Amino acid sequence: MPRHSPCAIANEFLRRRGSPTYPSQMYIQKLVAIANGWNLAINGEPLVSEAPQAWVNGPVFRQIWDFVKEGGFKGPNSEIVDPITGQIITSKISGNEEEILDHVWKKYRNYTPQQLSDLTHQANSPWAYAYFEKGRNAEIDTERTRQYYIKLALAGRSNAEQEQALQTAGRINAA
């Protein structure tokens, strides 16, 4: 069962970023979308309480868009605040979810906003299906997202196993 608002997950990345400078909304949107995909694949459930929409530049969580538009980035790490209460949006993250967020942050933190957008625009991606089959701003299907990230995980595991086999073969041939 999804537990967290998209803004709370965005704030997890903004805290990890640890900068008072304003981030690109595209950067934050894509990190949340990628984390949601990995959580679906690994933990079997959405990380966030709403599905992203297929906008021109990739997946967008409407809540993040609206809250940044209304309240902007505030707080010591430019966190997103609730435009009505002015409070930084937080949520209690489980250990498994924390691992996903850490993994996504370590792997993708140095990507540019455009590189993250490009990742979400791959052929056969959940964004591509929603955008081209259902239409601009359509909701991105959760199950399609889960299956897509499972395939990415399996492909990554297969590549790692092939690399390890090649390294082992190289050691055997060298001996």
Tell me if 21 is assigned to some domain: yes
Q: What is the pLDDT of residue 161?
A: 46
The one-character DSSP state at 131 is I
Tell me if 153 is assigned to some domain: yes
Contact call for residues 50 and 63 (beta carbons, < 8 A): yes
Residues of the chain with pLDDT under 50: 1, 160-162, 164-166, 168-169, 173
Q: What is the pLDDT of residue 72?
A: 75
Rounded alpha-carbon distances, angstroms, from residue 47 to 12, 126, 172: 12, 16, 44
Total number of domains in the chain: 1
Q: What is the pLDDT of residue 116?
A: 94
Tell me if 1 is assigned to some domain: no
Q: What is the pLDDT of residue 60?
A: 97
Q: What is the pLDDT of residue 82?
A: 86
| CA-closest candidate to residue 28, choices 16, 39, 42 | 16
Q: What is the pLDDT of residue 20?
A: 83
Tell me if 108 is assigned to some domain: yes
Show Cβ contacts of residue 16 under 8 Å, excluding neighbours closer than 6 positions: 101, 105, 109
Print the domain residue range for 102.
6-174
Tell me if 70 is assigned to some domain: yes
